[in-house]
């Protein structure tokens, strides 16, 4: 009798394994070339005058493979030069470090329980005019459809909280 229970348990484990593997693979995939849709986006008070701190708003390419999300952006710098940035986020809740123009940023990415959205919390510290400043940004990435991505962002800055909602269309 014990042998029958053991063999039944092993058989059930093999039957359920694909379900567990499939559940892991059911997370949203943000891969693709994304074009900023200004009409559908809500830039809040930062939308006037370009106070975006170089984040969001432009087109970007996302590559999601295994446990890594790579975001490549090309934008215009203050002097009109082209600036390319690449940010990498591990998708297992461990901290990722990216180097930005003003220093390092540390990010943690976590999935929602249903795997449909990804929350990326980024902290950046830097010195300016002899003062230390810290910014915390929380981005929630959600696929509204396979061809539409929404990134809801909350930034906590020394000047207060700024919220935006960026909408991107898949190219």
Contacts of 120 (CB under 8 A, 6+ apart): 89, 107, 108, 109, 138, 139, 141
* Residue located via tokens 């999601």: 64
Q: What is the pLDDT of residues 90-146, one digit of tens each?
A: 999 999 999 876 678 999 999 999 999 999 999 988 777 888 878 899 999 999 999
Q: What is the pLDDT of residues 41-73, one digit of tens each?
A: 998 754 433 333 334 568 899 999 989 999 999
**pLDDT at 28 > cutoff 90:** yes
Residue 166: per-residue pLDDT: 94
Residue 131: per-residue pLDDT: 81
**pLDDT at 8 > cutoff 60:** no
Q: Residue 153 — very low, low, confident or very high, per pLDDT cuts 50/70/90?
A: very high
Round to whole Å and give the CA distance between 40 and 163. Answer: 15
CA angle (105, 110, 114) in 5-degree steps: 155
Round to whole Å and give the CA distance between 4 and 11. Answer: 10
Q: Are 151 and 163 in contact (CB under 8 A)?
A: no
Rg (CA), the chain: 20
- The pairing of strands 95-100 and 60-65 is unpaired
Q: Are 23 and 134 in contact (CB under 8 A)?
A: no
**Number of CB atoms found within 10 A of residue 138's CB:** 14
Residue 116: per-residue pLDDT: 94
């Amino acid at each position: 009798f014990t042998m029958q229970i053991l063999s039944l348990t092993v058989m059930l484990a093999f039957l359920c394994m694909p379900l567990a593997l499939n559940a892991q693979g059911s997370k949203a995939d943000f891969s693709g070339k994304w074009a900023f849709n200004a009409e559908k986006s809500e830039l809040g008070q930062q939308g006037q005058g370009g106070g975006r701190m170089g984040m969001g708003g432009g087109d970007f390419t996302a590559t999601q493979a295994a446990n890594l999300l790579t975001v490549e952006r090309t934008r215009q710098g203050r002097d009109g030069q082209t600036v390319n940035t690449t940010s990498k986020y591990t998708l297992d809740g461990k901290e990722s470090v990216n180097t930005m123009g003003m220093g390092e940023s540390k990010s943690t990415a976590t999935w929602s329980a249903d795997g449909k959205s990804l929350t990326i919390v980024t902290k950046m510290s830097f010195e300016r005019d002899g003062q230390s400043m810290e910014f915390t940004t929380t981005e929630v990435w959600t696929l509204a459809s396979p061809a539409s991505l929404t990134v809801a962002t909350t930034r906590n800055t020394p000047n207060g909280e700024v919220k935006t909602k960026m909408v991107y269309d898949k190219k």
